[in-house]
Structure 1
Amino acid sequence: MPSAIDYRLVSGLGLALACQQGWADEPWTDVSTFLQQGALTGVTRNFYLNRDFRNGGANRRPGTVNGYRAEWAQGLTVDYTSAFTPGLVGLGVDAHVYAGLKLDSGRGKTGTNLLHVKNDGEVADEYSVGGGAFKLKVGETVLKYGSMELRTSPVFLTDGGSGRLLPQTVTAWQLTSRDLQPLTFDAAHITAGKAPSESRNDSTLRSLYGATQTDTVDYVSLNYEQGAVKGYLSTQRAEDLWRQDYLGFRYLPALVQGLTPTLNVSLYRTVDIGAAHGGPIDNLTWSLAPGVKFGSHSIMLAYQKVQGDTPFDYMAFRDGQTTVAQLANNVQLSDFNAPNDRSWQVRYDYDFTARGVPGLRCMIRYIQGQGGKGSNIVPESSYYALGFQDGGRHWERNIEVQYVVQSGPAKDLSLRARYGVHRGNSAEPRGDMDEIRLITELPFKLL
């Protein structure tokens, strides 16, 4: 199951350790001891997804059975994170192995991105992929190269697996520095990726809605965290496609015991650059989400606005799975990102600990959007064919229940059920759909 890169990484690390430490007699014994100092963890994930297109909307693919897609799969992720060698310059290696197993799928029901689809259109019974990254540390600054997740910058966030069966990864150089706390500097140069349903690490990078390929993506991010305050300032450049800048702010002060107000602000500015292969882009998208947590209850309100005649877009991979954006109304079925779309949300969460059931939580939210219209989209734009010329109106409702086992042999076992409903008028490209997700996760630790 592991790819060849895993063995090259371990072998290369062994040679580097031997050279650095002068281990000439029994270097591999020292390497073995060093590797045991790392962390070896994993997650088993069982995922069922059923999406029913009520009116055979724009997302319905030819051949779907009765207008729906449904797949059931079992996934396994194993991650190894090494320690760093002693000395002024520390060396290390991270590695991972992911595997997916088909439990139920087939022609006409595929398209959930849970499982790998082969070139002949058949769903693979099983698939696996492995990868890893070298890392070098000086002080609190770490340089990495290889296959990895990127979870620190709001302009390029890979999905760790919560949205599908397996995590997304990218092939990249990444530099992270925490030498200037409470500031964290983060930068990356990304050349390829792996979507959750892919069995290779060389997926092309592309815009999701524009479906425009780009060879490389670079970002620089400066994050601030001090007490109840978090701030983010980031910029991303997709070669010959766009520049996307981000400003974010989060505030969670504990005013009195049992009462915590929250405020989340996100702003993205996207413009075309270079050869502009996706056509002209000029988009400002922002969201404001105040809320309050009191006792077992949490209430959040959110407002999101897309300004411009192109939609807010994301970086994605070959199978269409996207990176994650920090917008309040980017939810289960829709992201309310059409040109000039304005949307609001009300969300309620309840923690059943006070009722004597620790680990049980529920959430319900409702989002409504309107005004989505890109009347001035030019024909040479990659978004022109999406039909944003007319005003769209749509709404979505999500319900989620999750229980995490608190003790015993099944401690940390998570059981989650998500139900989503989306409805829109004829101008809304996503159409009407219902979706059910049933997810079981069990984390484990081997080292």
Structure 2
Amino acid sequence: MNNLYSQIVNQKAKISLVGLGYVGMPIAVAFAKKAQVIGFDLNKEKVKLYKNGIDPTKEVGDDVIKNTKVEFTSEASDLKKAKFHIVAVPTPVNEDHTPDLRPVESASKIVGQNLTEGSIVVFESTVYPGVTEEICVPILEKESGLICGKDFKVGYSPERINPGDKVHRLETIVKVVSGMDLESLDVIAKVYELVVDAGVHKAASIKVAEAAKVIENSQRDINIAFMNELSLIFHKMGIDTKEVLEAAGTKWNFLKFSPGLVGGHCIGVDPYYLTHKAEQLGYHSQIILAGRQINDGMGRVVAESAIKLMIKNKKDVANAKVGIFGFTFKENCPDTRNTKVIDIVNELREFNIEPLVFDPEADAEEAEQIYGLKFASEDEMNELDLLIIAVNHDVFANQNLNYWLDRVENKRVIMDLKGMLNRDELESLNVSYWRL
């Protein structure tokens, strides 16, 4: 197995990427510059787009996809041609916030059915400590008939790709790597060093690497929850949260987080993986779950604040026309899965308000499929009783003030969840302005 690395470098052994989403596809493209790569995804339509040089994720762009040497496929049997498998499938949570391991179990089954002797399988999906060795390895063994440690080896290297971020990329973020033993760790580290310019950090064990990933986003989640709680308190005090944070941020060791909606596949999900495992071991999380509760409730806070604002401004709430700008889980990214903007939509519906939603960056087909939501056109976002800026896409941030003012009726009411606009300027124009 030691010579697997040289076989990969000399293009005699292939790397496979299982799962070609926002995480897997950029990894496949990066490795294809140095090795032979098979990019596998069950979604035939997605694979067809990649083969036609189209990047539906907008992570690397159509030109890069057109020119990449990745062998895109939806045929699982093609995985037999690879010796180094990287699994990068989503790990969501169920409605009751318990981990949904079905995607990673299904991927393990597919890889197992096509696993050959002398291979290494590395998991990148976010999981709680123990999943790789206790859940994935038995599936790989059962499906392949091979023995882990003897016929094949496993490792774990948590993904750290930040969708929509053009600065923090696979190549520029230190990669945590782990292996089941020193031999596999050495090979896995060397393979990732081919593409990660920032270098690798060798974790002491697979469980340590799994734990490191799951706490990275849990820490961020807790910090944002603290900001959201401060926002709730300061609103009651009549103090502007952004102004408070700007003042506090002048201290060298003040952590610069902001209040906001916490969606996506990581920050709003990973803490539940950690607390689920803790519960199994008899420990009930207090800080982590408290943070989750606050962040999960922010859609309701925004909707209720919207109703209060309209009443205060003598708007006819029952017939109000509300427009929401932005629907994706984060800026400059087409992904609508796990967006918390849907919470605002659903809460407004409780008041019999059907808001219009406009998002030029979002995957409209995906939003309709998942949420049954049809986006409004930009032209429809006019004569609004209330305007809500929910996502700070560049396309919104680059608009001048009149773009927003011209869209709201008479007594103008604007909610700016990201604090993009200038409060003093708006208030001098008699705009009723609210931000988190």
**Structure 2 length as normaliser, TM-score?**
0.28
**Structure 1 length as normaliser, TM-score?**
0.27
Q: Which has the higher helix share?
A: 2
Q: Which has the higher strand share?
A: 1
Highest relative contact order (Cα 8 Å, sep 6+), 1 or 2? 1
